[in-house]
Amino acid sequence: MPTLTWATALSEALNAHDLDRISALYASPFVGIDLTLRHEALQTKDLYEAYSFWIEAFPDLHVRYEIMHATSRRATLVWRYTGTHNGYFLNIPPTGHVVRIEGISVVNLTDGLCSRELQIWDLAGALRSLRLLPDLPSSSRSSQDLALLMADPGV
């Protein structure tokens, strides 16, 4: 499976909250590292736990990939999760606030399945969405402007 096809299949499975379809996109063995939480996933059950973490905290979770760059075996995905905080998230009780969480994942594919994944996401931004951290001063650049800059290597 080409890397962009894999990424599309992952977003569709995640938006459907289908843990079986999600885990079917990962190889066994698999190594996944979440740098933000300092969490390592090594088995299918770890994937279930990792994705359940998001779906339980944000039952209406939706993912959108802003930028995807891919070679035949590796993809870099800049993503945005949105959802309503109606479940526990990092031991934070539900607030009912709509959150937007942005992150980056680098995935390696072997035989069309993800064999390695490294991700980092904006925890401070998530806490701001939950109104647990103060907003930052306004910036003249939006995240869309920054995405455009990142997409054009000539800038």
Is residue 3 over pLDDT 60? yes
Nearest to 31 by CA among 53, 46, 12, 51: 46
Q: What pLDDT, on the 0 to 100 scale, is given for residue 150? A: 58
Is residue 10 over pLDDT 60? yes
User: Exposed, middle or buried, 29 (CB in 10 Å: 0-12/13-18/19+)?
Assistant: exposed
Q: What pLDDT, on the 0 to 100 scale, is given for residue 155? A: 46
CB proximity list for 94: less than 8 A, separation 6 or greater:
85, 86, 87, 88
Q: What is the pTM of this model?
A: 0.81
Q: Give tens-digit pLDDT for 84-126.
A: 999 999 999 999 999 999 999 999 999 999 999 999 999 999 9
CA separation for the pair 49, 39 (Å, rounded)? 11
Name which residue leads in pLDDT, 55 or 68: 55
Asked whether 105 and 79 are in contact (CB, 8 A), the reply is: yes
CB proximity list for 90: less than 8 A, separation 6 or greater:
none
Provide the residue type at 14 as one letter: L
User: ∠ CA(87), CA(49), CA(85), 5° rounding?
Assistant: 15
